[in-house]
Structure 1
Amino acid sequence: MIRVSSLTKQYGDFTAVKDVTFTCRPGRVTGFLGPNGAGKTTTMRVMVGLTPATAGEVTIGGHHYRDIPNPGRHVGVLLDASAQHAGRTGREILALGAKQMGLPAGRVDEMLDLVSLSDTESSRRLRNYSLGMRQRLGIAHALLGDPSVLILDEPANGLDPAGIRWMRGLLKDYADRGGTVLLSSHLLNEVELVADEMILIGRGQIVASGTKQELLAGRSGGGTHVTALDVASLSSALESAGYTVSAAGDGLRVEADPVQVGQVAADKQIVLTDLRPAEGGLENLFLELTADTQRESITSEGVAV
């Protein structure tokens, strides 16, 4: 479990993170979302001891990161896929990590196979890697010690669509086996597909948190898009059931969740041809809550936050 308690980080007069509190639980993927410059990376750097907090604290499994013996065996970290010696090969980077953690040499081959880096690719020097290959190597390094916690900052950068799908499956499987995952991104759609709950941050402060359903509860802009063989009859049935209905392309937008809409259609024996959450609900909420933060901030020390 990751517990962030009243965390604040200041650089001179600039406050990068202000009174941030949240918890990441085992068996769940927690999405950490915000525009560039919102404070995500600063928060994660504090988590793993790379940046000292001005106030507050972060504990992982009840301990400060600096107090965890052989931390790579307990906490897997990927903050910068290029933060390795550019002259070393991918295999050498993993082999050094395995040696430092006291792992058998065979663990390197297991991880290279897991992230689909071939023998030829793992023999290349890091400077010759594409960004996507660096991300795969970084994920392999984070998983090398079979940790119980993963802290990943923008891990999908540089991955192609197949790679992003692979990563989603990997993280879901990891959480299903009891792992704790904190996944940072400024791309809502990427995180929405894998996260069990989400934390939205803007200008260094938490602006909302919860599951997708909790975040959208009681807000306009969500709802359901539905089409049917008899759209007019469906519209009438939904309005009679008390739902707000409006035209949307060749179908309807309904202020209700898909299960409620499907139930009305089933009760009236109306055949549906499309039924899905209306697009833009969570995205609109995200943009609304972070509207004044859609820019990247640089501190006086030149640190992107």
Structure 2
Amino acid sequence: MIKVDSLTRTYGSYVAVDDISFECKPGTVTGFLGPNGAGKSTTMRVMVGLTPPTHGQVTIGGRHYIDIPNPGRYVGVLLDASAQHAGRSGRETLMLGAIAMGLPTSRVDEMLQLVSLTPAEAKRRVGNYSLGMKQRLGIAHALLGDPQVLILDEPANGLDPAGIRWMRGLLKAYADRGGTVLLSSHLLHEVEQIADEMILIGRGKIVAQGDRQSLLAQSGPESTLVTSLDNAALANALSAKGYHPVPAGDGIRVDCAPVEVGRVALEAGSVLSDLRSGSAGLEDLFLELTSDTQREGIN
């Protein structure tokens, strides 16, 4: 478990992280979401002892990172995929990690295979890797010691769509085996497909946290967008049930769940050509809650 307790980090008068608290539990993937500069990376650096806290603390399994013996065997970390020795090969990078952690060298081949780096790629210097290949190598290094906790900062950067799907499956399987994953990103759409819990941060403060359903509940009442072959007849049927349909584009918007609209349409014999949620999504909520941190104006 990762426990962040009243954590604050300041740089002079600048407050990078402002009195935040949250937990990441075993068996779950926690998405740590916020715009660039929101405080995500600073929080993660404090977690692994690279940046001292100004106030508060972070513990992993009840201990500070610096107090964990052979920490790579308990906590896998990837904070910057590009911060790897450019002159070493991918295999050499993992081999040195294995030696430092007291692992058998066979673990290196296992990890290279897991992240789909070929033998030829493993022999190349890291300085000649693409960003996506560096991410794969960084994930391999984080998993090298078979840790119980993973702390990953923007691991999807540089991965192609197939690579992002692969990473989602890898992390979900890791959590399903009881591991704890903290995954930071500014790409909400990618994280919401895998995260069990999400923490939204802006200007160093947590602005919302919870699972997907609880966060969506904050965005207002549920609504539905529906189009039928006879919108007028469907609108009358919805009105007769006590709903209040209004025109919306080529169809109708009504403040109830899609399943309720579908039930009314079935009873009325209406043929639907489109039925979907019209509620604000997580992206809308995210942008609304962090609007004062966005460089672009939110209309």
TM-score under structure 1 normalisation? Answer: 0.89
In structure 2, the partner of 1:300 is: none
Matched, 1:187 2:175: no
User: For the Cα contact (< 8 Å) 1:36–1:295, is it kept in 2?
Assistant: no
Map 1:199-278; keep pairs closer than 5 Å. 199-220=199-220, 223-228=223-228, 231-265=231-265, 272-278=272-278
2:261 and 2:272 map into 1 onto residues whose CA distance is 10
User: For the Cα contact (< 8 Å) 1:221–1:284, is it kept in 2?
Assistant: no
Letter in 2 for 1:283: E
In structure 2, the partner of 1:85 is: 85
Letter in 2 for 1:180: T
Map 1:153-172; keep pairs closer than 5 Å. 153-172=153-172
2:160 and 2:41 map into 1 onto residues whose CA distance is 23
In structure 2, the partner of 1:22 is: 22
Letter in 1 for 2:43: T
How far apart are 1:221 and its partner, in Å?
A: 7.7
User: For the Cα contact (< 8 Å) 2:220–2:280, is it kept in 1?
Assistant: no
Secondary structure in 2 aligned to 1:195?
coil
The CA deviation string for residues 199-227 of structure 1, in whole angstroms up to 9 with x for no partner, is 11010000111112111215338634444
The CA deviation string for residues 268-304 of structure 1, in whole angstroms up to 9 with x for no partner, is 56555544433752211111111111249xxxxxxxx
1:135 and 1:222 map into 2 onto residues whose CA distance is 38
Matched, 1:289 2:292: no
Give the structure, 1 or 2, with the largest relative contact order (CA under 8 Å, sep 6 or more): 1
How far apart are 1:156 and its partner, in Å?
A: 0.6
218-227 vs 29-38, which deviates more? 218-227
Secondary structure in 2 aligned to 1:10?
strand
262-271 vs 96-105, which deviates more? 262-271
User: For the Cα contact (< 8 Å) 1:221–1:281, is it kept in 2?
Assistant: no
The CA deviation string for residues 163-192 of structure 1, in whole angstroms up to 9 with x for no partner, is 111111111111111111111111111111
Letter in 1 for 2:66: R
Matched, 1:142 2:139: no
Map 1:48-197; keep pairs closer than 5 Å. 48-197=48-197
In structure 2, runs of 5+ residues without a counterpart are: none
1:148 and 1:236 map into 2 onto residues whose CA distance is 57
TM-score under structure 2 normalisation? Answer: 0.90
Matched, 1:41 2:26: no
The CA deviation string for residues 43-89 of structure 1, in whole angstroms up to 9 with x for no partner, is 01001110000000111111111111111111111100011111001
1:222 and 1:127 map into 2 onto residues whose CA distance is 50
Letter in 1 for 2:21: T
2:147 and 2:237 map into 1 onto residues whose CA distance is 52
Secondary structure in 1 aligned to 2:157?
coil
Larger Rg: 1 or 2? 2
- How high is the sequence identity, in percent, across the aligned residues? 72
The structure 1 segments of at least 4 consecutive aligned residues displaced by more than 6 Å after TM superposition are none
1:218 and 1:280 map into 2 onto residues whose CA distance is 10
1:240 and 1:67 map into 2 onto residues whose CA distance is 66
1:88–1:209 Cα change, 3 Å: same
Secondary structure in 2 aligned to 1:21?
strand
Cα RMSD of the aligned pairs, angstroms, is 2.3
Secondary structure in 2 aligned to 1:208?
strand
Letter in 1 for 2:277: P
